Every structure is written in structure tokens, then in C-alpha cells.
Amino acid sequence: MDRPSSAPQCALPALAALLCAGLLAGCGGISQAQYDAVCGERDALRSQLLEVQEDLRALEDSRDAAPAEHMRVNISGEFTATVRELLPDYTLNAETLQVAVVTQFQDGPFTIFVGSLAAELEVGKTYNFAIVPEENVEIATEDYAAGVPSPEVAVPLYRLRISGASPAGEEDWGLAGRGLQWERTP
């Protein structure tokens, strides 16, 4: 039996590779003018990016160079929130309920430490939570100018403590509800 020649079998892959190379060479699809326009746009955008980065660095340097001015305030008041859950404080006592998950009107949930007040609270009910007035709290002047933050922010930020809770009435709920106040100290 004669053996078939391997020459035609070797030529087939070479021919396929040559055909693919020829097809790929014709895929250039854009003219030199279009290429130059895209490169020009890229260079303009790169220049704008460098300018913005330089401005950002200058702004950050000026902010870091000027220390934030601080002032002292007294914080007091109360806020209205609905108790969504009562939980133990797993750090202090994993069995006694001491933390309330609460929500304010049309807002997300946050936690407050209520301690022994948890025994008086009922899940699903709305309460006015009074805070222990804090005196001489240091805050940034720009924070004072922005106004009193929501209890969700203020309670943990200024380590405010809850002094009591009373059932909220219709007049306490909604956008015009009760809130925290701060007063600038002399």
C-alpha cells in the first residue's frame, strides 16, 4: 500500500493562515483623517484631565493648609422616631434589650442606645426621644453653618445619650416634627 503524500496536508494549514492574514489586513476600516481626528480629541481630553487634576491638587492643598476653625455649642432637644426593633447590646450584655432600631419619617433605620428605657418601648410605636443636653461640644464652623444634622448623624457623631422617651402624638410626626437644636456658646 502506498502512503499518501503529506505535502497537501501541510499546505492546507499554511493556506488557511495566509487567507486569514489577508482578510485581517483589509479590516482597517477608518481613514487617516478619521484616525487623526480621534487622536486630536484624545489629546484634548488628556490636556483637560491634567488641568482638572492640577486644580484638584491645588484645592486639596489649600484645604489642608488652612486648619478648620472650630467653635463650641450646646446641643439639646428631642426627635421623633418609630421603634422598629429592640436588640441587646452584644458588647455589654448579650441578653438584656438595650438598643433600639428606629426610623424617622421617610428615612432609613439607625440604632440608638436606650439602656433600661427599652423595657418601656414597644416595637411599631412612635416616640419622642429626648437627649441628655450636651454643653460645650466642639464642632467645625462649617458644620454649624450647615445646620443641625439629623439624629441619625448627630447621635453617634456627638455621642448623644437618650434621657427619655414619651409616646408621640399626631403633631410630632412628619416633616415638621421635633428636632435637635444647637446654640453657640460665648
Domains: count for the chain = 2
Residue at 144 is within a domain: yes
Same domain, 92 and 156: yes
The string of pLDDT tens digits covering residues 144-170 is: 888 878 888 888 888 899 999 999 887
Same domain, 92 and 106: yes
Same domain, 53 and 137: no
108 contacts: CB under 8 Å, gap ≥ 6: 152
Domain that holds residue 37: 29-66
Residue at 23 is within a domain: no
Residue at 34 is within a domain: yes
Same domain, 56 and 129: no
The string of pLDDT tens digits covering residues 47-76 is: 898 898 988 888 887 766 666 688 899 999
Region of poorest pLDDT, from 13-17, 67-71, 87-91 = 13-17
Residue at 90 is within a domain: yes
Same domain, 60 and 76: no
Same domain, 97 and 135: yes
Residue at 122 is within a domain: yes
Same domain, 90 and 112: yes
pLDDT on residue 43: 92
Residue at 17 is within a domain: no
Residue spans of alpha helices (H) in the chain: 7-25, 32-65, 141-146, 151-157
Same domain, 171 and 88: yes
- Quote the CA–CA distance of 59 and 71 in Å, as a whole number: 24
Residue at 136 is within a domain: yes
- Quote the CA–CA distance of 17 and 114 in Å, as a whole number: 76
Report the chain's terminal Cα–Cα distance, integer Å: 113
Q: What is the pTM of this model?
A: 0.60
